[in-house]
Structures are given as C-alpha cells and as structure tokens.
C-alpha cells in the first residue's frame, strides 16, 4: 500500500481510524477460514460518511475494498486480496431504533447478532437468525452471507428477516434497498443484496424484522443406534406435517467430544442423537412434541429425553453450540464443511462422508442442521502432520462433489467466498454465472467491492489469486 493512499485515507477520516501496523495487517489478512490474503490498510469508519470517504479514496486510486464485520466468516469472504483496503465495521455498532409494535429494528452493521437479540428481549422479541457464532458475528456479516442457524428451519434464514439495507456503492452513492414498507417499487434489490458477500457495496444501516419469543418451548434429545434411524426420523417428522423450530443432529464422535466438554449427559454410545425443539403456542407444542416422540420411537429411538426446565434446555443447546470448542480436545485444527443435500439422501451422503474420511485416514465429526439437510462435516487434524493438508483438501472436495451429485448445493450458509469459488461450475453453467456477474455489475460496475470472490474469474485475472494461501476446496 503506498503512503499516498494511507495519507489520503488519514486525511479523509482521521489518522486514528486508519491502521497499517504489521500486526494489524496480519490479523486482517484472513477471516476464520484457512484462507490468507493480504490487507493493504485497515479503516474503522464511524458512520456512513466515513464509509463514503474511504470508498472515495479507493475510487480515486483504483484500489479494491473489502467490508469486514467480525471476521468469523468461514469461506474467505472477508479475506482481502492483493492489498485491498479493509473497511472494518466494528465502530458502527449502534442499535439505532427498535419499534416493538411494528416489530422492526434499525441497526448499524457492526452490531453483534446476539446483542440485538439481548436488546430486543425486554420487548419479548428476538432476531431469528441464530448462527452458532452469534455471540461474535455481526449483522452486516449475516446480511452479506445470508447466514442461517439452528432456528432458521422454521423461521427462515437472514434474507427473510431483512426489510431494508442502506448501502454505499462503489461509485459513492448511498441507496436504500427495500424499505420498512412491504412493497417498495422496482426489483427486489434488497433480496439481491442479501447474500452478496460484500461484492455489491457496503451496508451501513439495516432494518430487520424482529420475531416474538415463543409462548412455549419443548426441547428433546432422541438417540439412535444407527445414523440412518436418526435421519429417517427427520424425514418422517417433516412428512408428518411438522416443522420443528430446530432439528439438529450429532453423530457419535461429536457426542463423545461434546460430552467430555460440557457434561450434559449426552449418550456417548449412540450412533447419533437428534436435538429437536418445538416452540410456539402451547397446544401445538404439546401435540408436536408427543408426535415427535412417537415417530422417534417408531424408528427405534433408544431414549427420549425432554428438558424439564430452562436450565436443562440451555445445557442441551450448550452442547450443540460448543461442538467447535469441544473438538479442540481431539486435534488442534479443524476444517468445517457446509453443503446441503435433499433430506431423503442424508444417510447416503453421510455414508459417503464417512467413507471419504476413512480413505484419507481423517477423523470426521458431524454436527448439523438435519431438518434442512444442511451437513457440516468437521474434519479434525493436526496441521503439523506432513501431507495432511492435501488429504484434508481432497476429502473436502470429494464431500462437496458427492453432495452436488445427490442433488444438493455447494453451501447452505457459509457462502462461496474464495473457498468454493472455483467449485461454482459444479452447480452452474457459464450462462448461469454470467447472469450472476450481471447482477454484481449492476451494483458495482467499477468492480471495486471485494473482487475475486464467488464468481470463478475468466482466465486473465488469475494473477490476483496468487496471493491467497491455503486456498482449499
């Protein structure tokens, strides 16, 4: 990064908000994935005007910029390429307005997901998308990745909860996409923006829908002797006309790791366990809980544990949500995958996952959103082992390929970013990809917003990729 650019940024938003120490640049060279790029400089705008000023400098010098929320992304979305300007939203973390009657809130992008839910709790409301990273991820990041979470089965992913985004485009204009009103004129640019992985512009304020807290909740743990009995239970629950609030599955290795970590009484000898939550109005909850228990037993559930109180309920969820911490006890490194398959193929695809891992002599844990077929195979390893990265890489590619073969998709919630960019042709034709690039160009004809992500680039732009280390899967 030239001193001239840094100087221009400093005079644009103030020296204290522009950082370029080696330590900081190293920290911002990657997100929570293994994909390391190169950050040119890091800016901390305080508001929309600061964002505009930074982008104006980028435009003047023809430099790319990358929005960054909390950096918990797992697909390299916030990994800067070739010395891009990182625009970090951590100082834009105000909850601007909550309207409990209209059940909406305006927030700045750096507000953490769980902070909004905590804030809304006093009105009996919450923000429904609940990624496992919700303590640390930002709502701006949720919007950019169209993130999901265990409770998105019934409530829908982020896109269903975003009413409007104020966005700074690379040409410097500030636009409101969508609106508080239900039917704004024109194309659904709001919908197009959600999931655009920072490549359409930077959102500086977001209007979200808030969801009433359920009147009643029932959380259950069912365990099975085979994985197939568990996945068949999932299909039968859905086929019986129920959409539980959450329907999560953990396999044996995961149960063992989690139990050693949280001591919640998870059955460590089961092949798989289902964590099922039903919520809503009291009679529906009671009826669904009873039906789910019956279906589980029909499929051979060994036990059905119903949480007696909020404490037990939190403990069960703690087990589910701390799977990532728990695996550190097995091996120091992990690689978390994210694909979706049609529910009816869950068992078959899981069989392939186990086979693929065994062929590469890798340990694999599965903890995933079974209700919507969203697999999260976790490959655990020790990166000091020679040749291990190649094996992890091969296994990962094979898992994605087999998911797509079974009629699934590349990613259910983590996004494409850099990680799966070059796998896009598994799902999309050249014509399909061209249409996606038209969409991006409509927002960012200059191509300055987070370039080189999502869309496999035509040959010729290849040199920009050389800077990325650890480009996996």
Partner 1 sequence: MGVSDIAEFASAIGATGPVWIRGAGTRVVGPANVRAVESPRGIRFFEPEEMTVTCGAGTCLSELDEILDDRGQYANLGQLRHPHGTVGGALASGWNDQLRLGRGPVRDSLLEVHVVTGRGDVVKGGGPTVKNVSGFDLCRLMVGSHGRLGAIAEVTLRTRPKPRASAWLVVDSVDGSRIEELVGHLYRPSAILWNGLVCWICVEGHPSDIEIARTELRRRGFASQESASGPDLGALPHRWSVSPRAVFEHVGERVGQVIAEVGVGVLHGDQPPPTPIIDAAVENIHRRLKDSFDPEHRLNPGAGDILIR
Ligand X SMILES: Cc1cc2nc3c(=O)[nH]c(=O)nc-3n(C[C@H](O)[C@H](O)[C@H](O)COP(=O)(O)OP(=O)(O)OC[C@H]3O[C@@H](n4cnc5c(N)ncnc54)[C@H](O)[C@@H]3O)c2cc1C
For partner 1, the binding residues in 133-172 under the rule CB under 8 A are 145-146, 148, 152, 156-157, 159-160, 169, 171
Q: Which stretch binds partner 1 (CB under 8 A): 10-18, 252-260, 316-324, 372-380?
A: 372-380
Site for ligand X in 285-324 (CB under 6 A): 324
Rounded least distance, CB 391 to partner 1, Å: 25
Question: 231 or 256, CB closer to partner 1?
Answer: 231
Question: What would the two tokens of residue 367 be?
Answer: 């903890």
The partner in contact with residue 138, picked from ligand X, partner 1, none with C-beta cut-offs of 5 to 8 angstroms by kind, is ligand X
In angstroms, what CA-CA distances link 71 with 30, 42, 113, 194, 198?
A: 8, 13, 13, 17, 12
CA distance 335 to 44: 30
The partner in contact with residue 67, picked from ligand X, partner 1, none with C-beta cut-offs of 5 to 8 angstroms by kind, is ligand X
Say whether residue 352 binds partner 1 (CB under 8 A): no
Question: 104 or 253, CB closer to partner 1?
Answer: 104
Instruction: List phi, psi (to 5°) of 36.
Output: -105, 125
Among 265, 325, 332, 407, binds partner 1 (CB under 8 A): 407
Spatial CA neighbour of 238 closest among 160, 307, 153: 153
Question: What would the two tokens of residue 13 be?
Answer: 């938003």
Distance of CA 59 to the CA centre of its chain: 29
Among 2, 11, 15, 173, binds partner 1 (CB under 8 A): 173
By DSSP bridging, strand 211-212 and strand 95-99 are: unpaired
Q: Which stretch binds ligand X (CB under 6 A): 70-78, 207-215, 294-302, 426-434?
A: 70-78
Bridge partners, residue 68, by sequence: 88
**Torsion angle defined by CA atoms of residues 199, 321, 419 and 111, in that order, rounded to the nearest 10 degrees:** 20
Bridge partners, residue 334, by sequence: 380
Question: What would the two tokens of residue 428 be?
Answer: 């999309």
Spatial CA neighbour of 195 closest among 130, 128, 133, 142: 142
User: Mask 213-252, x = binds partner 1 (CB under 8 A)?
Assistant: --x-------------------xx-xx-xxx---------
Site for ligand X in 177-236 (CB under 6 A): 197-198, 202-203
Among 34, 72, 219, 411, binds ligand X (CB under 6 A): 72
Question: 23 or 101, CB closer to partner 1?
Answer: 101
CA distance 191 to 79: 24
Instruction: List phi, psi (to 5°) of 303.
Output: -150, 155
Question: 113 or 256, CB closer to partner 1?
Answer: 113
Question: What would the two tokens of residue 327 be?
Answer: 């695996």
Rounded least distance, CB 321 to ligand X, Å: 8
Which DSSP symbol is given to 146? T
Say whether residue 38 binds ligand X (CB under 6 A): no
Question: 70 or 380, CB closer to ligand X?
Answer: 70
Q: Say if CB 109 and CB 65 are below 8 A apart.
A: no
Which DSSP symbol is given to 132? T
Q: Which stretch binds partner 1 (CB under 8 A): 246-254, 299-307, 325-333, 432-440?
A: 432-440
Say whether residue 140 binds ligand X (CB under 6 A): yes
Say whether residue 282 binds partner 1 (CB under 8 A): yes
What stretches of 333-470 show up as alpha helix (H) in DSSP? 346-359, 388-405, 430-443
User: Count residues contacting partner 1 (CB under 8 A)?
Assistant: 91
Spatial CA neighbour of 175 closest among 208, 204, 138: 204
Say whether residue 396 binds ligand X (CB under 6 A): no
Contacts of 146 (CB under 8 A, 6+ apart): 157, 158, 159, 194, 195, 413, 415
Rounded least distance, CB 332 to partner 1, Å: 29
Say whether residue 456 binds partner 1 (CB under 8 A): no
Site for ligand X in 119-138 (CB under 6 A): 131-133, 137-138
Say whether residue 431 binds partner 1 (CB under 8 A): yes
Site for partner 1 in 295-334 (CB under 8 A): none
Residues that bind ligand X (CB under 6 A): 31-32, 66-74, 77-78, 89, 109, 131-133, 137-138, 140-142, 144-145, 147-149, 197-198, 202-203, 324, 413-414, 450
């Amino acid at each position: 990064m030239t001193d001239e650019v840094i100087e221009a940024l400093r005079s644009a938003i103030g020296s204290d908000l522009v950082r370029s120490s080696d330590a900081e640049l190293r920290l911002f060279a990657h997100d929570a994935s293994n994909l390391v790029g190169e950050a040119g400089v890091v800016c901390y705008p305080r508001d929309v005007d600061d964002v505009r000023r930074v982008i104006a400098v980028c435009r003047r010098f023809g430099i790319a910029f990358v929005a960054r929320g909390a950096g918990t992304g797992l697909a390299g979305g916030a990994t800067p390429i070739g010395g891009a300007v990182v625009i970090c939203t951590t100082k834009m973390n105000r909850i601007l307005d909550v309207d409990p009657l209209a059940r909406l809130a305006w927030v700045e992008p750096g507000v953490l997901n769980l902070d909004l839910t905590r804030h809304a709790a006093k009105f009996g409301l919450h923000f429904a998308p609940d990624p496992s990273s919700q303590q640390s991820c930002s709502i701006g990041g949720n919007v950019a990745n169209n993130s999901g979470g265990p409770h998105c089965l019934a409530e829908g992913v982020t896109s269903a909860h975003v009413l409007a985004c104020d966005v700074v485009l690379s040409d410097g204009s500030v636009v409101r996409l969508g609106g508080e009103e239900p039917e704004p004129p024109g194309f659904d640019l709001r919908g197009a923006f959600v999931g655009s992985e920072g490549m359409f512009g930077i959102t500086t304020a977001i209007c979200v829908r808030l969801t009433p807290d359920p009147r009643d909740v029932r959380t259950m743990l069912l365990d099975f002797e085979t994985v197939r009995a568990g996945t068949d239970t999932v299909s039968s629950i859905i086929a019986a006309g129920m959409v539980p609030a959450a329907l999560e599955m953990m396999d044996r290795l995961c149960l063992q790791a989690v139990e050693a970590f949280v001591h919640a009484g998870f059955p460590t000898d089961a092949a798989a366990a289902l964590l099922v939550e039903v919520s809503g109005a009291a009679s529906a909850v009671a009826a669904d809980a009873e039906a789910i228990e019956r279906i589980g037993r029909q499929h051979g559930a060994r036990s059905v544990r119903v949480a007696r109180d909020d404490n037990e309920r939190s403990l069960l969820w703690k087990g589910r949500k701390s799977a990532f911490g728990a695996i550190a006890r097995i091996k120091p490194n992990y690689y978390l995958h994210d694909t979706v398959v049609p529910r009816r193929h869950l068992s078959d695809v899981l069989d392939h996952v186990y086979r693929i891992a065994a062929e590469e002599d890798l340990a694999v844990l599965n903890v995933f959103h079974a209700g919507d077929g969203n697999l999260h195979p976790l490959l655990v390893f020790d990166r000091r082992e020679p040749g291990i990265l190649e094996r992890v890489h091969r296994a990962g590619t094979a898992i994605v390929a087999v998911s797509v073969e079974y009629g699934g998709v590349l990613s259910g919630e983590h996004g494409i970013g850099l990680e799966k960019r070059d796998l896009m042709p598994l799902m999309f034709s050249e014509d399909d990809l061209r249409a996606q690039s038209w969409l991006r160009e409509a927002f960012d004809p200059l191509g300055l917003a987070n370039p080189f992500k999502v869309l496999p680039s035509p040959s010729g732009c290849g040199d920009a990729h050389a800077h990325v280390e650890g480009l996996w899967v």
